[in-house]
Amino acid sequence: MNLHHHLRFVLVILAAGLSCTTLLSQETEYQKWLKKEQERLNQFKEERDKEFAAFLKLEWKEVKSYSGLVRDEKPEPDKIPSYENKILNRPEAKSSPAHLQRPPEEKNNIGVAPRAEFKTESEQGSGRVTVQAPFVNSIVEFQVDQAVLPRLDRITKEGISDFWEALSRVHYEPVLVEAAAYRNKMKLNDWGYVLLVHSVADKLSDGSRNESILFTWFLLLKSGYDARIGFKADRVFLLLPTANMLYHVPYFSFKDKNSERLYYAVSLKEGEEQLVGSLFSYDGKYRDADRLVDFAVPETPKIKDLSESKTLHFDYGGETYVVPIRYSRDAVQFFLWYPQTNFEVYFSASPSVQATQSLFSGFRTILQDRTELEAVNVLLRFCQTAFRYATDQQQFGREKPFFPDETLFYDASNCKHRAVLFSYLVRSLLGLDVVGLDYPGHISTAVRFSTDLPGDSVIVRDRKYIICDPTYVNADAGVCMPQFKSVKPNIIDFAHRQ
């Protein structure tokens, strides 16, 4: 190596050394900044928790509960009529050819996030344990600090404040990390997440209902949801504000400077006794916890991926059709005790992947080469006759709206169940717009066809929608039940409220 190349090599090495030194210096400065930011964040968390604990020791007040809202005072009919004069199902009725939609592809399921990194036993003091908690038809596992749940000494504002302060000191963050991972994997909505965190809280509480409720409240606030608790005698209640109306659930009204918000005393277990009368609660909020629990179902839960099948039959135009159906047992179990909410939630929900694929497969050949009117009439006859009719009271002894998989699972259904399923079939198979029609004691639908058709109709957004009743046996599109012909329904315009 000559002198010129030797000097060049030395300069390159020196430059590289200086560059590495600079990078190491920058990395050290970054680590220092990151450490300070983490300390600042931890200090903020401690300040926020201490601030809230001190607030909880202040004056609580007695607040009055309101009886759960009732959606419809008029009961459903025990029996439904059949339509005899099918004048609208005639060849001369002009209608566009039906354009069948392509079946949707299943979205890739989001895998479980890596388990949270826990401190070592020496760092953490009490080590960690694996907790198994039942959730719907499955078991969820959480790794938690052995001392994650303190004990509730007394049901007073001071006792609740002490419980909050003690709980905020333990290593609870991994529970939230794993809850978020399960939520993604199982496609849970907000209500599913509430039930999920309550499942682990219930397991950790060693049978104490009050501690389970308080820990659920704590985890929801830490997850960014607005939530309150109240107590009455020897019981603690969870109060949740929601993005939707809930029915048959007692609620409270809390006001701040700018608004009023309803908080529902939701039941987290089936058959749990509901709150009656007033309780003691507080007025303020935990900082940065403003999210409302939304009962909308953007995706059907996929908890254990269990499915079942059955075969449904119906007659149309002198022929009998057979439709093999699959549905999700996960969905049926999850929705069994789902709080009653706005009809928009049920109408806008899609079935499970199993149900969706089987419905597309089962109806594609049946609907092929038909006009829009004929295709809609086929779907009407399916919903009208493939299921036995029964009111909610007859079947459950309580009000019970269905999501689509439930209508496919249960042997019997009624007007609101069939309206939800029919609207999904028309939208997904034919691509036509549908609205729900809310009459006293009855739910129906109306469809906007591509061409103007005769028959009973409603006007929605200056457009004509033909009444299609999925419960009125043998009635085609354009036939309204006689008792509702002169009744103006409330429009469930769910597709335009999302």
The full set of domain ranges for the chain reads 61-67+110-281, 307-496
Res 362 pLDDT > 90: yes
What confidence score (pLDDT) does residue 86 get?
A: 52
Reported as a pLDDT band with limits 50, 70 and 90, residue 277 is: confident
Torsion of CA 26, 28, 30, 32, to 10 degrees: -150
Residue 263 contacts residue 243 (beta carbons within 8 Å) = no
Query: Could you give the CA distance from residue 21 to residue 8 in angstroms, rounded to a whole number?
Result: 20
Read off the pTM. 0.85
Find all residues with CB under 8 Å of 422, minimum gap 6, and list them.
Answer: 379, 380, 383, 434, 445, 468, 470
pLDDT band at 194 (very low <50, low <70, confident <90, very high): very high
pLDDT tens digits, residue range 477-487?
999 999 999 99
pLDDT(9) > 50:
no
| Best CA proximity match to 489, nearest among 462, 467, 472 | 467
Who wins on pLDDT, 15 or 338? Answer: 338
Please work out, in degrees rounded to the nearest 5, the angle formed at the alpha carbon of residue 297 by the alpha carbons of 404 and 172. Answer: 135
Whole-number pLDDT of residue 30: 56
* Lowest pLDDT segment from 138-152, 183-197, 335-349, 359-373: 138-152
- Segment 391-395 mean pLDDT: 94
Nearest to 250 by CA among 20, 64, 59, 41: 64
Tell me, what's the pLDDT at 284? 86
Q: How far is CA 189 from CA 43, 184, 232, 300, 328, in A?
A: 32, 9, 30, 9, 16
pLDDT of residue 172: 86
Higher pLDDT, 345 or 270: 345
* Pairwise CA distance, residues 41 & 43, whole Å: 5
Cα–Cα distance, 420 to 410 (Å, whole number): 14
| Per-residue model confidence as pLDDT tens digits over 307-325 | 999 999 999 999 999 999 9
Give me the mean pLDDT over the 369-387 stretch: 97
pLDDT at 81 > cutoff 90? no
Q: Quick one: pLDDT band at residue 29, thresholds 50, 70, 90?
A: low
Q: Give the chain as a 3 state SS string.
A: CCHHHHHHHHHHHHHHHHHHHHHHHHHHHHHHHHHHHHHHHHHHHHHHHHHHHHHHCCCCEEECCECCECCCCCCCCCCCCECCCCCCCCCCCCCCECCCCCCCCCCCCCCCCCCCCCCCHHHHCCCEEEEEEEECCEEEEEEEECCCCCCCCCCCHHHHHHHHHHHCCCCCHHHHHHHHHHHHHHCCCHHHHHHHHHHHHHHHCCCCHHHHHHHHHHHHHHCCECCEEEEECCEEEEEECECCCEECCCEEEEECCCCEEEEECCCCCCCCCCCCCCEEECCCCCCCCCECECCCCCCCCCCCCCEEEEEEEEEECCEEEEEEEEEEHHHHHHHCCCCEECHHHHHHCCCCHHHHHHHHHHHHHHHCCCEHHHHHHHHHHHHHHCCEECCHHHHHCCCCCCCHHHHHHCCEECHHHHHHHHHHHHHHHHCCEEEEEEECCEEEEEEECCCCCCCCEEEECCEEEEEECCCCECCCCCCCCHHHCCCCCEEECHHHCC
Q: 444 - beta bridge partners? A: 437
- Least confident residue range of 46-50, 108-112, 215-219: 108-112
Please state, in angstroms and rounded to a whole number, the distance separating the CA atoms of residues 243 and 283. 20
How many residues would you count in the chain?
Answer: 498
Give the least confident one: 183-192, 205-214, 235-244, 441-450.
Answer: 205-214
Please tell me the predicted confidence (pLDDT) of residue 113: 35
Residue 33: pLDDT over 60: no
**pLDDT tens digit sequence for 208-237:** 999 999 999 999 999 999 999 999 988 999
Residues paired with 143 in a beta bridge: 130
CATH topology for 307-496?
C8orf32 fold (3.10.620)
Mean per-residue pLDDT for 142-147?
76
pLDDT of 24 above 60: no
Confidence of residue 202 (pLDDT cuts 50, 70, 90): very high
Report the percentage of the chain scoring pLDDT > 90.
Answer: 64
Q: Is the pLDDT of residue 496 over 80?
A: no
Cβ atoms of residues 407 and 422 within 8 Å: no
Mean pLDDT value across the chain: 85
